Amino acid sequence: MPPLEILGCRVDDADLAEATARIAAFARDGRSHRVVTLGTEMIVHAHRDPAYRVVVNGADLIVADTIGVVYASRLYATSLRGRVAGIELLESLCACAASEGLPVYLLGAAPGVAEAAGAALAARHPGLRVAGTRDGYFALADAPDVAAAIRESGARILFAALGFPKQEYFLADWLSASGAGVGMGVGGSFDVLAGRLQRAPETFRRLGLEWLYRLLREPRRWRRQLALPTFVWLVALERLHAGKGMPSS
Ligand code: UDP
């Protein structure tokens, strides 16, 4: 089967257990690997910004973070089995990191949030080594120091909660320098782990309405969420063109 590509972005088919196992293997080998948890808004952004698309497609593993990406995949030849929510992958990786002795680093969110998220994770996963934390509001000029601090911490897994596209660009530029085996963008996950933000209840998630819950809780996101109808429209156009055998750019 050819790899799935939605609006120019590759998406890999993996369930939570497979993604966790692959990433744990990345963390153990000597090289640096980037993981993208891809949402609909990110795909729309990548569609408009070729540089971001290159960064996303350069990742070693790209999983579908939102149900919209999974629904869209059903219109393509290779469809996805399900979503792998970034926050669930983070949690599952921490369980694995605790049992395998792989130190993790939490970079991102407002001051104090990464620290609180790290404490919550360490409490849930006995043996987890949180090698370091740092907020995500540093100047671009400080990026080398941020990477050096991560290297010094000895972290094997770096969770970057800087929001997109910043987290993907940061990892593309600085993951190697950080020395971590894995760098994964996790959006607003630290806010949820630290108890500052609530995740959508199970009912909303099951119905594929997590976006609606977030919109109700954070109405200021409405402009960002215009990406959703845009995504549906662009995917419909892409499939229509493919059906007619026309190029789909
Ligand atoms: N953030 C950050 N540095 C920045 C901009 C954002 O650390 O320069 C953090 C922000 O505090 C939040 C996360 O990045 O914790 C992004 O959250 P958002 O809800 O935008 O992410 P999503 O889950 O929608 O990708």
Angle between helices 166-178 and 50-57 (to 10 degrees): 50
Q: What is the largest CA-CA distance in the chain?
A: 55
CB-based pocket (< 6 A), ligand 1: 108-110, 136-137, 161-164, 166, 187-188, 190-191
Distance 121 CA to ligand 1 centre (A): 19
Average pLDDT value for residue range 69-95: 96
The terminus-to-terminus CA distance of the chain in angstroms comes to 21
Of 25-39, 43-57, 138-152, 212-226, which range is least confident? 212-226
Average pLDDT value for residue range 121-144: 98
Fill in the amino acid letter for 89: L
Distance 184 CA to ligand 1 centre (A): 14
Instruction: Output the residue whose Cα is nearest ligand 1's atom 17.
Output: 188
pLDDT at 224: 83
pLDDT at 246: 54
pLDDT at 225: 83
Distance 23 CA to ligand 1 centre (A): 22
Angle between helices 166-178 and 143-153 (to 10 degrees): 50
pLDDT at 247: 54
- Among candidate residues 224, 197, 164, 185, the one with its CA nearest the CA of residue 86: 185
Q: Which atom of ligand 1 is nearest to the CA of 164?
A: 25
Instruction: Output the residue whose Cα is nearest ligand 1's atom 1.
Output: 162
Residue 100 has a CB neighbour count (10 Å cut-off) of 12
Question: Which pTM does this prediction carry?
Answer: 0.94
Instruction: Output the residue whose Cα is nearest ligand 1's atom 10.
Output: 109
Contacts of 73 (CB under 8 A, 6+ apart): 4, 6, 11, 64, 79, 80
Mean pLDDT of the chain: 95
Distance 41 CA to ligand 1 centre (A): 13
In this predicted model, what pLDDT tens digit does every residue of 147-157 receive, in sequence order?
999 999 999 99
Mutate to test the pocket of ligand 1, among 162, 166, 170, 191 (most ligand atoms within 8 A of CB): 162
Distance 189 CA to ligand 1 centre (A): 9
The three-class DSSP label of residue 225 is helix
Distance 46 CA to ligand 1 centre (A): 17
